[in-house]
Amino acid sequence: MDFPIIHKNLKKFSLTPNLTDYHRCYQSFSWQQARANIKGYGKGINIAFEAVDRHVDEGNGEQNALIWLSKKGERQTYTYTDLKMLSNRFANLLDQLGTKPGDRVFSLAGRTPQLYAAILGTLKIGGVFCPLFSAFGPEPIQSRMTIGDANILVSSLKLYKKKVAAWRDQLNTLQHVLLYDCKGQCPDDCIDLDSQLSLANDQFTICETSAETPALLHFTSGTTGKPKGAVHVHEAVVHHKHSGFYALDLHPGDTYWCTADPGWVTGTSYGIISPLCNRVTLIVDEAEFDPERWYQILQREKVNIWYTAPTAIRMLMKVGEELIQQYDLSNLRFLASVGEPLNPEAVTWSQRVFGKPFHDNWWQTETGGIMLANFAAEPVKPGSMGQPLPGIQAGIVRVDEQGQLTEVNQQGEIGELALKPGWPSMFREYLHEAERYKNCFNSDWYLSGDLAYEDHDGYFWFVGRSKDLIKSAGHLIGPFEVESVLVEHQAVAEAGVIGIPDDVAGEIVIAYVALKPGYEANEELITALMAHARKKLGSAVAPRAIHIKDNLPKTRSGKIMRRLLKARELGLPEGDISTLESDEHPPHQNAGDEV
Ligand code: ATP
Ligand code: MG
């Protein structure tokens, strides 16, 4: 097979901050040990206890847990003690309202302190929290709250009036709506969250949730079809905690910024739980993506660790390097990326402009936490997703038409990326979709739906989603490889590649590209891009046609929707587009809101 081009031309970046520390921990890792590091484990495990209260009990309550930067330029700091008391207040409020363990609390909120208090407070009382992305329209909100049997909604007055009030009565399960930022205008059928929080008691005894108590409900991004509701349990915290150390280099006292919104699993697992468990100081920025603001935050807050998404990185690349040179980003120690394949070009760029590579890592809403990563202590391979985390067994498998699974033991051979179930943050079900859940498993493997291969060093390389793989004239073509080559061209900001049916070749490769500022869409440029792609990929793999677009269709979590490019190209129905961000908008509105 004529794969893999990327890793043959590889240049490794090595950044080895504390090799012995990592290797010692890696080699001695066991789930038993990781579980033992969770304080409540054995007599009742609770994510919020581990994330917040534990640090107060251990004498670290005065450390800043969260620094909140408002859209308007306000800056508020919350110590671990503050966060403990604020979440206690929220838990007491839920208690007064008669909330029972297992009740579902949804949020439709911007990144405000109330949201963080609500998540932690709900976990303390044994409720299940489901954060929704605030930019959703009324329909996706209603369908998710209906699927999830929502009992409580936390929102702002503005978002509620605009997106929920009109259909609220149709949702029978919904008992209470708690609204912040009401400024005295709270509707009669809602509760003024801010005033009730200030009245609530700040002492609360955390419920004795067990390892298997449901804690979080997260909907997938909807990139490949209708979003699924993945249920996670309190035991997930075991993986959240230790993966933060291995994959993100989190150490107590670090200042850490995860740009993802809690409406996506990254914004909860690694925007709240993992960093707090590792006692870092979280930066929470309420505002949307803006390159200048982002560099200002990195500089002013002296961010050490920055976790973001390929869409955001590509947009920063698009803006250019001059802007970066105006800032002192010397406190940055570790950079990581997730959510989509990270083109090697982006890693090379980051090494040049920040002096450090982005460390790509891979996981899914279903896995609840990072599964593969370019570790801090190992060389970064640009274009690779990295190696399995300690305790995670990953493999490449093939499933034939009869449903027979075989393991691929040949390095470099493409197959479906699969994982051996059993890690703590693994989802326990797709809510109300038992069949879909069952279909994720075969033999003793969990099937990810992504295609990949493993190299001789044990690094895994993303090829594409199984559904996006292109079969052209006997070649198997992964969209990511073609996209990465196109993005190498100086004019290209991002690329989406699909296969469309062809009588002769079976399928042919079509590419869509968005340009960097200053480049004009014309025939000459298309010819140059074609030549570049042919030179790098060969004519069998290079796109047969390249279309230039202002923007590519993306999910609100920043993923290119190739299925939509294909449906549009073929004039087919668009399918579920509840998570589509309008193509007409400049894509930067929600950049980094991932996985
Ligand atoms: P849906 O399952 O509803 O179609 P989705 O798979 O995009 O949506 P998520 O769980 O948010 O929903 O995203 C997980 C997927 O994102 C992975 O299966 C993979 O395809 C992609 N992904 C995440 N990280 C990476 C990465 N580092 N490299 C390549 N792909 C990645
Ligand atoms: Mg998925």
Query: pLDDT (tens digit, 9 = 90+) per residue, 524-574?
Result: 999 999 999 999 888 888 999 999 999 999 988 888 999 999 999 999 888
Residue corresponding to tokens 């997703």 = 385
Q: For atom 13 of ligand 1, which residue has the closest CA?
A: 364
- Nearest Cα to Cα of residue 350 among 377, 314, 326, 384: 314
Task: Tell whether ligand 1 has an atom less than 6 A from the beta carbon of residue 450.
Answer: yes
Task: Tell whether ligand 1 has an atom less than 6 A from the beta carbon of residue 383.
Answer: no
Number of H-type helices and E-type strands within the chain: 21, 30
Q: Are strands 394-399 and 470-472 parallel, antiparallel or unpaired?
A: unpaired
Q: Give Cα 262 to chain centroid, integer Å.
A: 9
- The length of the chain is 595
Would the pLDDT of 24 be above 70? Answer: no
Test site for ligand 1: of 340, 367, 389, most ligand atoms within 8 A of the Cβ: 340
475 pLDDT band, cuts 50/70/90, is confident
Rg of the chain over Cα atoms, rounded to whole angstroms, equals 23
What HEC string does 117-155 produce? HHHHHHHHCCCEEEEECCCCCHHHHHHHHHHCCCCEEEE
Query: pLDDT (tens digit, 9 = 90+) per residue, 346-378?
Result: 999 999 999 999 999 999 999 999 999 999 888
Distance, CA 167 to ligand 2 centroid (Å)? 29
Q: Are 40 and 50 in contact (CB under 8 A)?
A: yes
Instruction: List the beta bridge partners of residue 336.
Output: 307, 359
Distance, CA 42 to ligand 1 centroid (Å)? 33
Query: pLDDT (tens digit, 9 = 90+) per residue, 161-175?
Result: 999 999 999 999 999
Name the region of 194 (left: φ>0; alpha: ψ -120 to 50; beta: rest).
Answer: alpha
- Nearest Cα to Cα of residue 258 among 227, 224, 284, 226: 284
As annotated, the residues of the chain forming the CATH 3.40.50.12780 domain(s) are 10-454
Q: For atom 1 of ligand 1, which residue has the closest CA?
A: 222
Q: Are strands 372-373 and 358-362 parallel, antiparallel or unpaired?
A: antiparallel
Task: Tell whether ligand 1 has an atom less than 6 A from the beta carbon of residue 221.
Answer: yes
Query: pLDDT (tens digit, 9 = 90+) per residue, 411-449?
Result: 899 999 999 999 999 999 999 999 999 999 999 999 999
Q: Are 491 and 459 in contact (CB under 8 A)?
A: no
Task: Tell whether ligand 1 has an atom less than 6 A from the beta carbon of residue 462.
Answer: yes
Task: Tell whether ligand 1 has an atom less than 6 A from the beta carbon of residue 339.
Answer: yes
Distance, CA 130 to ligand 2 centroid (Å)? 18
Test site for ligand 1: of 133, 223, 365, most ligand atoms within 8 A of the Cβ: 223
Average pLDDT over residues 509-518: 94
Among residues of the chain, what percentage have pLDDT more than 90?
78
Distance CA 153, CA 164 (A): 10
Give the position, in ligand 1's atom list, of the atom nearest the Cα of 223: 4
Q: Are strands 580-581 and 554-555 parallel, antiparallel or unpaired?
A: antiparallel
Q: Give Cα 235 to chain centroid, integer Å.
A: 20
Distance, CA 236 to ligand 2 centroid (Å)? 19
Give the position, in ligand 1's atom list, of the atom nearest the Cα of 449: 18
Give the position, in ligand 1's atom list, of the atom nearest the Cα of 264: 11
Q: For atom 24 of ligand 1, which residue has the closest CA?
A: 339
Instruction: List the beta bridge partners of residue 105.
Output: 129, 152
Q: Are strands 334-337 and 305-308 parallel, antiparallel or unpaired?
A: parallel
CB count within 10 Å of CB 299 equals 16
Task: Tell whether ligand 1 has an atom less than 6 A from the beta carbon of residue 479.
Answer: no
Distance CA 387, CA 373 (A): 5
Task: Tell whether ligand 1 has an atom less than 6 A from the beta carbon of residue 351.
Answer: no
Output b/e per residue, 508-517; b: 16+ Cβ within 10 A: bbbbbbbbbe
Q: For atom 31 of ligand 1, which residue has the closest CA?
A: 340
Distance CA 18, CA 24 (A): 10
Distance, CA 272 to ligand 2 centroid (Å)? 22
Q: Are 397 and 447 in contact (CB under 8 A)?
A: yes
Q: Which numbered ligand comes closest to the C-alpha of 311?
A: 1
Q: Are 333 and 304 in contact (CB under 8 A)?
A: yes
As annotated, the residues of the chain forming the CATH 3.30.300.30 domain(s) are 470-593
Q: Which CATH architecture has domain 470-593?
A: 2-Layer Sandwich (3.30)
Task: Tell whether ligand 1 has an atom less than 6 A from the beta carbon of residue 79.
Answer: no
Name the region of 107 (left: φ>0; alpha: ψ -120 to 50; beta: rest).
Answer: beta
Distance CA 78, CA 544 (A): 55
Q: For atom 18 of ligand 1, which residue has the closest CA?
A: 364
Q: Are 139 and 163 in contact (CB under 8 A)?
A: no
Would the pLDDT of 386 be above 50? Answer: yes
Give the position, in ligand 1's atom list, of the atom nearest the Cα of 227: 3
Query: pLDDT (tens digit, 9 = 90+) per residue, 80-90?
Result: 999 999 999 99
Q: Which numbered ligand comes closest to the C-alpha of 480?
A: 1
Task: Tell whether ligand 1 has an atom less than 6 A from the beta carbon of residue 562.
Answer: no
43 pLDDT band, cuts 50/70/90, is low
Q: Phi first, then psi: what are they for 508, rounded to 5°?
A: -125, 155
Q: Which numbered ligand comes closest to the C-alpha of 265?
A: 1
Tokens at 166, concatenated: 């009109």
- CATH number belonging to the domain at 10-454, selected among 3.40.50.12780, 1.10.10.10, 3.90.1150.110, 2.60.40.10: 3.40.50.12780
* Dihedral angle computed from the Cα positions of residues 128, 280, 34 and 50, in that order, rounded to the nearest 10 degrees: -40
Q: Give Cα 306 to chain centroid, integer Å.
A: 13
CA end-to-end span of the chain: 31
Distance CA 369, CA 503 (A): 43
ipTM, interface predicted TM-score of the complex: 0.99
